[in-house]
Chain A
């Protein structure tokens, strides 16, 4: 028992250094991981699709896909996993850490870039490094899909307007025959410069052992 304890603690130590979470947070997240995976070592897409609260989310697919996307693992690979382990789970979660008082300005910049990268990857499903009009349209459609009778036409029009905006902001002197390929990451950053992602896109990960929701089934 004691040896197993220290082994997990060492593992947590590694993970804590890699992802920046505290030990307590990792423990809580591990509990959640075990609940989601049914006490197995890995999670598949179906496990995540089973979460009832997520069913109402319009971009559910993109979120679930983000967990299996290799690009979110900070390892310069492309493609996607079939199943992910706890470490990969944590890596994706680490995108949502909030800045603390001690975060320096460079760290904030890096955080912001990381979070913007996450959003960019959500758009860029074919991993070619640009968001084409089709991909953007798809996301906008999904976003508006749950809101009743917004037609596909309207979603398309909005996506078009958004692309135009990016184009006109980043490539101001395009000639009439130029073709705007797609939004690159630099343009993406540029257009979302003012949003202060690092302060807004975060989750408060609990330190204390708060009971997490178990949806009727109580385990362990």
Chain B
């Protein structure tokens, strides 16, 4: 009608004025009009004159186009698609992916696209800002790494991992920084204006290792577990250390003078950041686990909780400027164990898939951008500085690994031999984090372009050279391998048998190693944590078989391959039946009878108290006592509060010592 048409025209000029006018006059049809205006915003005026209509007579536009509106999401989607097509393309020719790691290929494609863009003089989308990288692109990658970290080897080697991550990164940063500062003093290179703080800043950027490519090679070659987990863990945690150092040096670079108290504060800050990150992660992990306890009726949104809580952990940590990477990694680690018990099988699969997918996309995009940006930014090349940076990066990494391994080997039960050390040192590729940190350097750093160029040079060099050559080298020097295929019932049984034996012998000779702490934690876990965080924390009365899992795997493999003929698929039962020995065992293995023995064996190292009900009653009782005690404190009745305090602590002691 006329009124709405009039409103609509007015709105195109200045929407807010109209609304204000409407509010002031309290027009009776205000709300209706406002709603209509909103709805009518949808089809915009045609920008280019629509084909086939005359200018004076505004006919209904048959064909319109509005590119600016969708520009950003559209371009992002195109980039992601392009990178994903590239990934498909790599696997067409199988041999390539064996010898050339994916990151190399992605960077190459990025370089090509960048060259194309450069030649048509177009700018790459300005989306690689600090915020975009740290808030949107980094979390999925880190979540991916954290979620799929093999927990048992990680905790067994945690000392080594932290040692290499923290001390190693510090060693690298300070070493490279100092050496570069020394080089800067030489007049011939013309970089005398870079002071020590800026050198240290740059060094902290390039000491962040990102051995994604190497990890893939390690997995393919099945190197021994210890080497794999140390490289993996180092990659993850040194991101956190690097970011802390970067922020610290960034702050310090702006200060004219550095005093000793600043150094001390820096160290203190480091601990706050690290431990705070872990604390937040654990907190959010537990909350997430607790939430999934109640989601049995809303299975479809179960995966959402995982992502939201981990992302929340990341953001809250960013809020307090503590290590968000540690937060999200610890959150994933804590959460995974309990959540995978609470959620349905489908949700579990969904979570794993989506985590992998998001991580993969982020990584792809970053390497892609690296390639593009390499061509399209302006570079400042300085032969001396860059070559020496390369040299020092290698040298300090190698030295660092040697020295640190010598120090930590006596504390390890399986010491690293020289071949492992070589793998560790050579696997120190630089990657996404360095790139992002360099790119987001503040503008007040004088030689920002030089730093960016140097970082890109190092990344390209290490990724291409080391990434491609590491596989033949690892195979050549014959690093100790590990057999990964342990999915047999016998292996599982004997692993548990061995662990119990070792725990027993350790108790017997009174000497403890990590088995003791693991055992203590498992007891705490079983008694308290599992009760609270898992929906059905009783030990299942029937066991889901590894057998059933194998059967399931067998079936899924057949379904997955395109040409599988399901009717002809033998199940494990029938396969075994063919080779069956008469007389022993006569029973058929009904899959319904057996349930996860694997889980049972792994979780039940020690006796689980079965009395869930009494446990809950205890918790309620103690909570009630506590509440009354605090209430009596508030009302300041001393005798009552003392009485209840005594009662509470008695109850607590009784419960803990196991009497009812």
Contacts and interface: CB of A to CB of B under 8 A. Distances in A.
A149 B593 contact: no
A60 interface: yes
A199 interface: yes
Contacts, number: 198
Nearest to A191: B490
A77 interface: no
Interface in B144-195: none
A57 interface: yes
Given A157-B593, A192-B491, A119 B501 contact: yes
B414 A99 contact: yes
A29 B200 CA distance: 50
A153 B603 CA distance: 20
B579 to A, nearest CB: 5
Interface string A125-136: 000000001000
B607 A147 contact: yes
Interface string B118-130: 0000000000000
B209 interface: no
B539 A48 contact: no
A167 B505 CA distance: 31
Contact of A205 (B417, B511, B603): B511
Nearest to A168: B579
A54 B547 contact: no
A162 B493 contact: yes
Contacts of A110: none
A160 interface: yes
Contact of A48 (B497, B508, B597): B508
A203 B502 CA distance: 7
Given A151-B541, A161-B545, A206-B511, A195 B579 contact: no
B508 A204 contact: no
A78 interface: no
B508 A167 contact: no
Given A146-B604, A149-B610, A174 B579 contact: yes
Contact of B507 (A57, A177, A193, A194): A57
B509 interface: yes
Interface stretch (B77-85, B430-438, B468-476, B581-589): B581-589
Given A148-B538, A158-B489, A179 B507 contact: no
A158 B594 contact: yes
Contact of A194 (B485, B500, B587): B485
Contacts of A197: 498
Given A148-B608, A165-B488, A206-B511, A122 B494 contact: no
Interface stretch (A1-9, A11-19, A80-88, A137-145): A137-145
B517 interface: no
A99 to B, nearest CB: 7
B510 A202 contact: no
Given A53-B507, A203-B509, A195 B585 contact: no
Which of the listed residues A48, A99, A157, A201 has the most CB atoms from chain B within 10 Å of its own CB? A157
B346 interface: no
Nearest to B582: A177
Contacts of B542: 151, 154
Nearest to B486: A194
Contacts of A200: 498
A71 B604 CA distance: 30
Interface string A168-182: 100011101111100
- Majority-rule SS of B interface residues: loop
Contact of B581 (A63, A96, A179, A192): A179
Interface string B537-564: 0110111010100000000000000000
B604 A148 contact: yes
B482 interface: yes
B483 interface: yes
Contacts of B486: 194-195
B223 interface: no
A139 B507 contact: no
Interface string B484-525: 111011110111111011111111111101000000000000
Interface string A49-90: 001011011111011000000000000000000000000000
B541 A63 contact: no
Given A146-B607, A164-B576, A63 B587 contact: no
A193 to B, nearest CB: 7
A98 interface: yes
B282 to A, nearest CB: 26
Given A158-B545, A176-B580, A202 B500 contact: no
Nearest to A147: B604
A163 interface: yes
B501 A147 contact: no
B496 to A, nearest CB: 6
A151 to B, nearest CB: 7
Contact of B513 (A100, A201, A203): A203
Contacts of A62: 501
Given A133-B584, A176-B582, A210-B511, A154 B543 contact: yes
B483 A194 contact: yes
B7 to A, nearest CB: 71
A158 B601 CA distance: 11
B323 to A, nearest CB: 31
A139 B497 contact: yes
A177 B585 CA distance: 13
B415 interface: yes
A164 B594 CA distance: 15
B1 interface: no
B413 interface: yes
B457 interface: no
Contact of A59 (B484, B490, B501, B584): B501
A180 B584 CA distance: 7
Contacts of B580: 164, 174, 176
Nearest to A155: B543
B621 interface: no
B490 to A, nearest CB: 5
Contacts of B316: none
Given A63-B508, A154-B543, A195-B491, A57 B500 contact: yes
Nearest to B496: A143
Given A59-B500, A146-B604, A195-B486, 20 more contacts: A32-B509, A32-B510, A54-B508, A56-B606, A57-B503, A58-B500, A144-B600, A144-B604, A146-B608, A149-B539, A151-B542, A154-B543, A157-B593, A160-B584, A165-B488, A174-B580, A177-B582, A191-B490, A194-B491, A204-B513
Q: Which 9 A-B pairs have the closest CB atoms?
A: A147-B604, A194-B483, A148-B539, A160-B585, A212-B510, A53-B507, A146-B607, A63-B504, A180-B581
16 contacts: A63-B508, A122-B497, A140-B493, A148-B608, A149-B538, A157-B589, A162-B493, A163-B585, A168-B576, A168-B579, A174-B579, A191-B488, A192-B491, A194-B483, A202-B413, A210-B511
Interface of B: 224, 409, 413-415, 417, 482-486, 488-491, 493-498, 500-511, 513, 538-539, 541-543, 545, 547, 575-576, 579-585, 587, 589, 593-594, 597, 600-601, 603-604, 606-608, 610
